[in-house]
Amino acid sequence: MALSSLCSALRALTVSSISTRTATSQVFNGSVLNTALLSVWPVNCSLPLSRGFLTTATLGQNRTLWKQTDKYTIRPIGVKKTGGRDFTGKIRRRGIGGGHKQRYRMIDFQRLRHELGKEGQEIVEKVVEVRYDPCRSADIALVAGGNRKRWIIATENMQTGDLIKTSSAIGRMAVLANEGDAHPLGALPVGTLINNLELYPGKGAQYIRAAGTCGILLRKVNGTAIVQLPSKHQVQVLETCMATVGKVSNVDHNKRIIGKAGRNRWLGIRPSSGQWKRKGGWAGRKIRPLPPMKSFVNLPSISAKA
């Protein structure tokens, strides 16, 4: 097909048909072929319209094509390791490489995802299985509700057979928060431990997903809620953002002992360089004041009101 369009395009440049065209810009006194090339540039409707043809081709590397899928599935997907290399092939992050093969299970971070035709209702799901996930420090849970199954980040005391609830209602009274349930921040009582926090409503959980972490809901201030993250930073988000109640599973993750260099290599961590610089400044405890509270709420500015 590319060949036929190439032929039809070049057929337009035959010597016999040059005389029928008028060249508007005769810049160079070149050969006949140059004249033919230039004279194609003005619009000539007698040529057959055909799709342009590519003279290049892609290399067909499946570097990130394994994760370009729109359809959600609970089946684990084979992962291609990058080794810390970027698209140019050079190392961009040192110390990554090797390690056990991993399969990626697509986690649904947006808890409030309704099935088709059931928007607006409360979602009740049953925990089918809680298992280890090689791609993250937390455990994951397979939950099933209605006609669909999905993977979510498991909370601390989640067992097989539990029922978990996801609702988007914000009432005047705060909801009795059961561990594993997901509610908007406006519906939770102040002081609850939360995880899988959304920053923007509907975007999906982006914060507090690691093993054993939990945030604290500090205050609720007219339409927004202030949450303290595990790093003690404080963050202000809209009260319609969803969060799950409880601590993330695998609480003793930070107490594990690697034990040997080989275990680090199994995790895909290559050895660091070991060069010690006295003035590096990275080691040691840092004591400094908290940064100001970050607000993810677009409040109207003072200048806009004036």
- Residues in touch with another protein (CB under 8 A): 1, 9, 25, 27-28, 30, 34, 40-41, 43-45, 47, 49-52, 56-61, 63-64, 68, 82, 86-88, 124-126, 128, 144-149, 163
> Of 169 and 290, which has the nearer Cβ to another protein?
169
Query: Would strands 193-195 and 242-245 be described as parallel, antiparallel, or unpaired?
Result: antiparallel
Taking the complex as a whole, the smallest distance from the CB of residue 95 to another protein amounts, in Å, to 19
Q: Are 95 and 124 in contact (CB under 8 A)?
A: no
Taking the complex as a whole, the smallest distance from the CB of residue 94 to another protein amounts, in Å, to 15
> Of 8 and 137, which has the nearer Cβ to another protein?
8
Q: Phi/psi of residue 238, each to 5°?
A: -65, 150
> Of 146 and 201, which has the nearer Cβ to another protein?
146
Q: What is the chain's length?
A: 306
Q: Are 234 and 289 in contact (CB under 8 A)?
A: no
Separation CA 244–CA 208 (nearest Å): 10
Separation CA 150–CA 170 (nearest Å): 25
Which residue, chain included where needed, has tokens 């099933």? 144
Longest dimension (CA), the chain: 87
> Of 22 and 147, which has the nearer Cβ to another protein?
147
Q: Are 189 and 183 in contact (CB under 8 A)?
A: no
Taking the complex as a whole, the smallest distance from the CB of residue 305 to another protein amounts, in Å, to 32
Separation CA 274–CA 203 (nearest Å): 41
Taking the complex as a whole, the smallest distance from the CB of residue 205 to another protein amounts, in Å, to 19
Separation CA 37–CA 190 (nearest Å): 75
CB neighbours of residue 9 within 10 Å: 15
> Of 90 and 232, which has the nearer Cβ to another protein?
90
> Of 128 and 135, which has the nearer Cβ to another protein?
128
Q: Angle at Cα 295 formed by Cα 292 and Cα 296, nearest 5°?
A: 150
> Of 41 and 266, which has the nearer Cβ to another protein?
41
CB-count burial class (<10 Å; 0-12, 13-18, 19+) for 21: middle
